[in-house]
Amino acid sequence: MPAEEFLAIRYPQVEWMEAYLRNLPFEQFGRLVAADRYAFDVFGYEGFSPEADLIYQDVNGDADVDLIVADELLVGVFLWSGNSYAPPYLIAFPKLKYQPGSHVELADWTNDGVPEILFDYRGDTGGTGIVYTSWTRYIIRCLADSCEVALELPLTYLTDDYNGGGMTLMNSAVSLDASVPGQTLIEQVWEGFSIYNFDFSPGFYPYALADNPIESLKVLSTTLDSYRWNGLQFQPLNSVVLSNAYVVDQDAQLEAAYNGDAASVQYQHNGRGDAMNDVCQLYVNEMIVGLPFGCKRNFTQVSWQNLIGDEEPELVIRALSGKLPYDNDGNHMDDIQCMHQRQIIYQWDGEQAIEIANIAGCVVRSNLFGVELVDYDGDGHLEILAASSWTSNVDCVPTSRLPCWYHFGYTTQVYRWDGFGFTYVAEIPNNTLP
């Protein structure tokens, strides 16, 4: 079908749209992040995915319904004018090494009653033992006869360094101030940290912090970036440092005594260069207690704390660890797929230890929160909170050629004392997608 004939069809079939897009020249695409041959990979061999969607909505304010094509790594906008669609505005991204993905939704970010197209893209690259993942939002604004990206807004950068057993995370929270009609102020707060990450060098990290030892916790500056809508684009307004960067060399307590009982955590490096970590073992009065566990020696603590109200302190361990920790025999001690904290709690009767909690959570904040003891419900008793993972699914179709779409985020799992142990009771969603 000739392009002019196709563009005159008000409600085209999906198959016709697919054929039209596959015949477009590369230069028609508005954005490519790699060589042109990758654009061909986006649809050239495979066509639309099962997730392909045709959305009809007015996106330029002329009261005529327009057509938005949303698919894996692709968004296209066809503006209806008179008796045909104009040639489309297209953004396409290549399939990179690991788990690229995209997500499209419509929302009014300019406070004028006409929705913008929000195209979220997850890209990743890396090498042996290290993966860089980034999330970026493209806010597409359409006028009477054209569309353009009104703001390219990075959202999150995550480095998963399996070699060093560490990570770097730069994450943002985005808010909109639309209190004045026709005007919008976007405010974006950035926070971040890096620990046990060998490759502390991509451009979004402050190079000065890279001089510190790999095992130190490098907390990055907290900044507030603002963008104001000027009628055509979101214009950068200012960037304010809310708190300065700092370094924590260690936060360790490997010995604790109570009433003549001496607890200690002893450690040994796992001897690996591809998954560096320590193997820790709890001892009480020089006797082995429990199983060994993965740890980072300089961010592991042991203490005696009265947690369950029985007037006798429990033995409490909180350990930072790289993902998929190995023991000294080359076996995985856990299958957790993220850098994490582990909370282990024992009751101690003076002779015997009974494990009442062994819970791990992914590290998601600069205070290294993966697990924590807190009175969550205000009833005077402590619960254990644990971060579920590094990702929250937004949209998932099992037949997809690409992995499910997800953004960086997590839910908080709540564990409560039931008289015998800390058991799972609830999950709290965390809204981390702006």
What is the C-alpha separation between 95 and 37, in angstroms, rounded? 11
**91, 117 in Cβ contact below 8 A?**
no
Does residue 103 lie within any of the structural domains? no
Q: Are residues 363 and 276 part of one domain?
A: yes
Q: Are residues 197 and 145 part of one domain?
A: yes
Q: Are residues 307 and 269 part of one domain?
A: yes
Does residue 101 lie within any of the structural domains? no
User: What would the pLDDT profile of 318-355 be if each residue is shown by its tens digit?
Assistant: 999 999 999 888 888 888 999 999 999 999 998 899 99
pLDDT of residue 30: 58
Mean pLDDT for the chain overall: 87
Does residue 299 lie within any of the structural domains? yes
Residues in the chain: 434
Does residue 207 lie within any of the structural domains? yes
Domain-terminating residue out of 205, 234, 249:
249
Domain-terminating residue out of 95, 125, 141:
95
Domain range holding 189? 108-249
The CB density around residue 170, as the number of other CB atoms within 10 Å, is 21
Domain-terminating residue out of 179, 214, 249:
249
Could you tell me where the beta strands, DSSP code E, fall in 285-401? 287-295, 300-305, 314-321, 340-348, 353-362, 371-374, 383-387, 391-395
Q: Are residues 311 and 348 part of one domain?
A: yes
Q: Are residues 243 and 262 part of one domain?
A: no
Q: Are residues 404 and 275 part of one domain?
A: yes
Q: CB-based burial of residue 243 (10 Å sphere; 0-12 exposed, 13-18 middle, 19+ buried)?
A: exposed
Does residue 42 lie within any of the structural domains? yes
Considering its fold, how many domains does the chain have in total?
3
Task: Find the radius of gyration of the CA atoms of the chain.
Answer: 26
Question: Which residues in the chain come in under a pLDDT of 70?
Answer: 26-47, 94-97, 182, 198-211, 393-403, 431-434
pLDDT of residue 123: 86
> How much helix, strand and coil, in percent to the nearest 5, is found in the chain?
10, 50, 45
Q: Are residues 307 and 212 part of one domain?
A: no
Instruction: Take residue 284 and report the two structure tokens written for it.
Output: 């009480």
Q: Are residues 217 and 183 part of one domain?
A: yes
Q: Are residues 216 and 292 part of one domain?
A: no
